[in-house]
Chain A
């Protein structure tokens, strides 16, 4: 993955806008740069414009405004079939009247590649996804997972440098999906192809990607590597959308550098890291991950603020304990603790003091 440090932009969206009806913008001011070899995932709720972005890149939709560049060349006026971009569709779009081998050989035929070379490439592409024995079958004779592999190898058989995938695993069951996630990332990395992957499943996005672009309302809310996205969300949408999250509403009391004190709505004070708040008196939504909450005073900074909390529910989940608390009027405050020998098991009804490191508690827009 050392190559991904290569910062030459391979795919570039610059100030791209898209409207279907001339009234509303489905994509609003999209700026995105992908270096060669990167695996980027577009993640977002349904209707947030992910597919539209992908279709603009593939050439099936035209941008209403802005430039899309591939390897430094503007592609706004290049028809889809000349872009040389591999695509995997959610329904796989395997041609039902052709056998698997014919499906794979199709992109090679239209490229006028000789028969023997074609056969060799088809075989190699099928072997790559372990479907070598299925060349003679029709798509309808394959299971969902097998069709998925074929669709993948068809998108790769003509050796594109860029592959787009629109929710390719959406129709598979959980187990198969996890297996395929792994295979797709492996394949993409070993072939060194640049991949734009669309999904609305955050686990998929986090486990597969080099970077994740979180979409909402036609905009990228944050584009960052998975760990950063999870641990350092830029705004409360991302914080809520990715992983489990506790939120507390309050007002900024004071800001000093990267430390802020927030007065919660019930009057208590807590320490936070200000992210996209700047003024004293501003409303804020404080975000803290369930696994970063501490009962143990010793693990907290000296002088840190703590909060009183009442245990409402204790759920034993094997590897972790999940405790639901009432904190500052919020009944849904979740704390996750690792099942370790010295870990306390809180009983409902007890009062505890909880706290956290200020850097784990992020004051975001309300």
Chain B
């Protein structure tokens, strides 16, 4: 009908389609706006989103087992943890060399601590085993040294592994060992090795070459020492003994070929890795130990989350923790219930205060507002400690009650170091967060609504309940959400006045972060807390509607 309809797209003054020139104009605006908020955006991302991301990641991250015992984990992949048999010799062998390197780099205790979360005792098993892993190496050095003392010399080893000067070199071995140490040490090992193992010797003595290369990389590039003058790791002798038992050295004619032939001829018994470990500690012969390692060998685990809800990961799947270790769910529920009570008591106390604030003449309201805000100007610790003074058995309240004769001196009320203390102190501390949103909502309610209601025949109570109160719900909602969310993650006050019965889940999180160092569990607990808050927020949105929340 109109001429616009049949002349195609509308054109701007300069002939470009109007849509495009509009988009260009808007893009400039958007870019400018984005640039203006860029610093804030960066700040929020770095200081807020990123740590939360890290926390979420930590709660499932479990690379430590695979990083520390890479070959053991590989060997265990084929072992049936449900069977009644110990893992094969190859697994013990892998464990020996993995453990040895980890011990040299002082990484084994970390893993021990990690696995100890799952099975108590593993921590000390790892620590002790680490200490005793040298012994078999020393025995073999003595035994082999008795055949030819050359083998105990550092220089001999370097010549042996380097091979003939014109021999082919094995670069992959250096790369793989560099990778192994880097993963283990959690940092890149940089620099070049002063020699490289010959391909022949790598083929002839794979274990010894491997362990020696690892030793050399560590000695030269981490410790900064000369391999030619440093005694090789004891594991190198164990590796050599193992290699000699199935090596054919007759055709070899590189450096020290004769020595190798002598050693083979001496027929030193090959190491029995299982016996080595069961000698160190009989727990290595227990299926439980191996099952624990296998169960938690995946780089990502649900174990922390299971622990967080009083369960554990076992080869048979998720199982409940033993009765005496089930505390976290109880603590979660307690935190929720106490937060609800705190929220409720805050709402009850704040409503009349907010009402008075909103209905007083401005000058008096300002003075009263100072009293409401006063707590913000006092240190949280001071306020909490003040409650300690008030509530303790020899404290102000008890003294007054005794003085009044309401309470017998012999059985003064216990009001601190329990849930009551936490609720009282937290209600006091969080009260302003309830009052302020309530006040700001009440302030906007025109007094003519109440007048209208009364003119329509409502009594004071009906006018309040049917007309005023419903309009304050957004303020109550906002205050309630604020107080609840603050309270559910509160730490300091429960820590000081909560005793053992009045602590929150956050105190447990703090314990795992700073005392037990089980950061994975702390992260899982934190994540659950976050999810609980989000779920409650979502539920609130469904029931009350988040648009109904007015913070100011």
Establish whether residues A87 and B452, one from each chain, have CB atoms under 8 Å apart when the complex forms.
Answer: yes
Q: Contact check, B455 vs A86: say whether CB atoms are below 8 A apart.
A: yes
Q: Which residues of A contact B452 (CB under 8 A)?
A: 87, 89, 93, 95
Q: Which of A6-14, A30-38, A105-113, A285-293 lies at the binding interface?
A: A105-113
Q: Given A93-B448, A97-B470, do A87 and B455 touch, yes or no (CB 8 Å)? A: yes
| Cβ distance B497 to chain A, nearest Cβ, rounded Å | 40
Q: In the assembly, what is the distance between CA of A85 and CA of B456, in Å? A: 8
**In the bound complex, how far is the Cα of B446 from the Cα of A90, in angstroms?**
12
Q: Does A182 contact B (CB under 8 A)?
A: no
Residues of B within 8 A of A82 (CB): 457
B455 pairs with A81, CB closer than 8 A: yes
B32 within 8 A of A: no
The interface residues of chain A lying within 8 Å CB-to-CB of B466 are 106
Given A81-B454, A87-B455 in contact, is the A93-B462 Cβ separation under 8 Å?
no
CB proximity of B531 to chain A, nearest CB, Å = 32
Residue in B446, B454, B458 whose Cβ sees the most chain A Cβ within 10 Å: B454
Q: Are A93 and B457 in contact (CB under 8 A)?
A: no
State whether A106 touches B446 (Cβ < 8 A): no
Q: Is the CB of A106 within 8 A of B448?
A: no
Say whether, besides A106-B466, A110-B462, A80 and B454 are in contact (CB < 8 Å). Answer: yes
Tell me, in angstroms, the Cα distance from A85 to B462 when the chains sit together. 17
Whether B453 pairs with A106 at a CB distance below 8 angstroms is yes
- Place the interface of chain A in its size category: 20 to 34
Q: Is the Cβ of B455 less than 8 Å from the Cβ of A158?
A: no
Task: Find out whether the CB atom of A80 lies under 8 angstroms from the CB atom of B455.
Answer: yes
Which residues of B in the span 409-459 have a Cβ within 8 Å of any Cβ on A?
446, 448-449, 451-459
A106–B470 alpha-carbon span in the complex (Å): 14
Chain A residues with CB under 8 A of B463: 81
A75-89 interface (Cβ within 8 A of B)? 79-87, 89
A16 interfacial by beta-carbon distance below 8 Å: no
* Complex contacts, A83 vs chain B, CB 8 Å: 455
Contacts of B368 in A (CB 8 A): none
When chains A and B are docked, how far (Å) is the Cα of A303 from the Cα of B463?
Answer: 70
Looking at the complex, which one of A79, A84, A93, A96 makes contact with B451 (CB distance below 8 Å)? Answer: A93
Residue from the list B446, B449, B451, B457 in contact with A110, Cβ < 8 A? B457
Instruction: Report how far A83 CA is from B451 CA in the complex, Å.
Output: 13
Shortest Cβ distance from A94 into B: residue: B452
A97 & B446 in contact (Cβ 8 Å cutoff): no
Rounded to whole Å, the gap between the CB of A26 and the closest CB of chain B is: 17
Residues of B within 8 Å of A81, CB to CB, are 454-460, 463
Which of B218-255 touch A at CB < 8 Å? none
Determine which of B456, B459, B460, B471 lies in contact with A106 in the assembled complex, contact meaning CB atoms within 8 Å. Answer: B456
Known: A95-B467, A97-B470, A106-B466. A89 touches B448 (CB 8 A): yes
A91 to B466, CA, bound (A): 19
Cβ of A58 within 8 Å of any chain B Cβ, yes or no, is yes
**B451-A107 in contact (CB<8A):** no
> When the two chains form their complex, are residues B446 and A91 in contact, meaning their CB atoms are under 8 A apart?
yes
A316 within 8 Å of B by Cβ? no
Q: Which residues of A contact B451 (CB under 8 A)?
A: 58, 60, 80, 87, 89, 93
At the interface, yes or no: A118 with Cβ under 8 Å from chain B? no
A154 within 8 Å of B by Cβ? yes
Shortest distance in angstroms between B472's beta carbon and chain A's nearest beta carbon?
10
Residue interface mask B320-338, A partner, CB < 8 A = 1: 0000000000000000000
CA distance A232 to B126 in the complex (A): 112
Q: Which residue of B lies closest to A86 (CB)?
A: B455
How many residues on the B side are at the interface (Cβ–Cβ under 8 A)?
Answer: 19
Number of A-B pairs, beta carbon distance below 8 Å: 66
A280 to B453 alpha-carbon distance, docked (Å):
57
- Give every chain B residue within 8 A of A85 (Cβ-Cβ): 455
B471 touches A107 (CB 8 A): no
> In the complex, what residue of chain B is closest to A96 when comparing beta carbons?
B471
A40 to B163, CA, bound (A): 120
Q: How far is the CB of B444 from chain A (nearest CB, A)?
A: 11
A110 to B454, CA, bound (A): 10
A80 CB contacts on chain B under 8 angstroms: 451, 454-455
Q: A107–B456 contact, CB under 8 A?
A: yes
Nearest to B458 among chain A residues (CB) is A110
Tell me the bound Cα distance from A96 to B460 in angstroms. Answer: 19
Contacts of B446 in A (CB 8 A): 91, 93
Q: Interface centre among A79, A107, A154, by most B CB within 10 Å?
A: A107
- Report which of B454, B456, B467 forms a contact with A154, defined as CB distance below 8 A: B456
How many Å lie between the Cα of A165 and that of B54 in the bound state?
A: 64
Q: Which of B457, B459, B470 has the most C-beta atoms of chain A within 10 angstroms of its own C-beta?
A: B457
Q: Closest CB-CB distance, A28 to chain B, in whole Å? A: 24
A97 and B471 in contact (CB under 8 A), knowing A81-B457, A86-B455, A110-B457?
yes
* CB-CB under 8 A for A58 and B455, given A91-B448, A95-B449, A106-B466: yes
A158 to B454, CA, bound (A): 13
By the criterion CB–CB under 8 Å, are A93 and B449 in contact?
yes
Q: How far is B462's CA from A346's CA once the two chains are assembled, in angstroms?
A: 68
Q: How far is the CA of A93 from the CA of B445 in the complex (A)?
A: 10
CA distance in complex: A158, B455 (Å)? 11
Residue of A nearest to B446 (CB): A91
0 or 1 for each of B456-494: is its CB under 8 Å from A? (1 = yes): 111110110011001100000000000000000000000
Chain A residues near B456 (CB-CB < 8 A): 81, 86-87, 106-107, 110, 154-155, 158
Closest residue on chain A to residue B455 by CB atoms: A87
Interface centre among B448, B452, B454, B455 (most CB of A within 10 A): B455
Q: Which of A79, A81, A87, A96 has its CB near the most chain B CB atoms (within 10 A)?
A: A81
| Contact flag A84-B457 (CB < 8 Å), given A58-B451, A93-B449, A110-B462 | yes
Q: Which of A92-132 contact B (CB under 8 A)?
A: 93, 95-97, 106-107, 110-111
CA distance A45 to B446 in the complex (A): 24
A158 to B448, CA, bound (A): 19
Chain B residues near A110: list those with CB within 8 A: 456-459, 462
CB A166 to nearest CB in B, in angstroms, measures 9
List, in ascending order, chain A residues with CB within 8 A of B460's CB. Answer: 81
A87–B455 CA distance with the chains assembled, in angstroms: 6
CA A336 – CA B463 in complex, angstroms? 54
Binary per-residue interface labels of chain B (520-544) against chain A in the complex, 1 for a CB within 8 Å, 0 otherwise: 0000000000000000000000000
15 residue pairs of the A-B complex, CB under 8 angstroms, read: A58-B455, A60-B451, A60-B454, A81-B457, A81-B458, A85-B455, A91-B446, A93-B449, A96-B471, A97-B470, A106-B458, A106-B466, A107-B457, A110-B462, A111-B457
Known: A91-B446, A97-B470, A110-B459. 7 other contacts (CB 8 A): A60-B454, A80-B455, A81-B460, A82-B457, A87-B455, A106-B456, A106-B467
Task: Report, nearest first, the 9 A-B pairs whose CB atoms are least far apart.
Answer: A107-B456, A93-B452, A87-B455, A93-B448, A80-B454, A97-B470, A81-B454, A110-B457, A110-B458
